[in-house]
Each structure stands twice: as structure tokens, then as C-alpha cells.
Structure 1
Amino acid sequence: MSVVKLSINTDAQLKENAQKVLNGMQLNLTTYINMALDQLVKKNGVPFEIVGEMNKDQATQLLKMELAKAIDDIHDGKVLDEQQLAERLGI
């Protein structure tokens, strides 16, 4: 595995607060960012719920991304028929 340097810009107070939380968990910022990136790839999307109010453009973009993912799932055969769904739900 080759390693690359990643540089980001963030609010100084946000970074400090995040480091305090991570220190309490015995993690550092680099480890956390790598964990988040790994989950982003594994889940093919943001690995956590985004909370707060969204404006119309953000909501539209989120819906478009979810729709595109659903269409990809259909094309990849990642769908259940009615019987499979009932079995999975135990009904």
C-alpha cells in the first residue's frame, strides 16, 4: 500500500475540538480520517448521518446521489423480489 500526504483546510476550533474527542478515544486525527475514508469507500457513501438543515440545492443533490445509487443497485442485480423481501423481513 502506497501512502500519500493529504492536506485539508478546516476551522481551527473544529480541529481542536475534534482532537480532544479523539484523544479521549485514544485516536489521532490521521487515524480517524483514514477510518472515515475507508468506511466511505466500503459503504459507497457518507458513513454517517448528516444532521442539520439542508438548503434546497443540498437536498436535491443528496436525492440525486441516492437515486443514482439505487439505479446502480438495480443494474448490478442488488434487488429483491417480493418473496425474498418477505423472507428477509420475516413475514
Structure 2
Amino acid sequence: MITSGIFINILNPKLSIFFFAFLPQFVSTTEPHALSKMLELSTVFMLLTFIVFVGYGIFAASIRSHVVSRPIVLTWMRRTFAGAFVALGAKLALTER
């Protein structure tokens, strides 16, 4: 599962486009080792992204037990999401071009 996630991210064209569009503005055109600088910046970006996603995962895992163990919380979450979808559908239906 982890390897498929890695391959999906590596082969995702949006990620490559982001690196080609965003990172070059931080590398000088006179930089003698521009490729190594780009790889360094890419590594820092991926490391920080990994740290943030691990934090999200830990937070979600800690909250999950509190939410799943309380049926009333699940009921209100479902009602809230259903109400939000109904409101967004109504807004979309009433929108004029």
C-alpha cells in the first residue's frame, strides 16, 4: 500500500509541474550547480510535506477514537454534512449565469 502511494505521487504530473514552476525561482541563473540546488530544495519540500502529513495522521488517529466511540457525534456529523450538501445544491440550483 505504501509503495503504491509512493508510485502514485512520483508519477503524478501535477507534482512535476509544481516543481518545474515553483522551485526555479529560488535558484539563481548564475548558480554553478543548479541541478543539485533544485534537488536540495525538492528534498526539503518533500521532507516538510511528509512531516506535516504525519502530523495530520497522528491528529486524525487520536480524534477518531473519540468520534467513533460516541454515536451522537457521528449522528450530528452526518446531519451537518447532509445539511451542507443540501445548502450547496440549493445554491447551485439558484445560481444564475
Same fold (TM over 0.5): no
CA radius of gyration, larger in: 2
Per the normalisation by structure 2, the TM-score is 0.29
Higher RCO (C-alpha under 8 Å, 6+ residues apart): 2
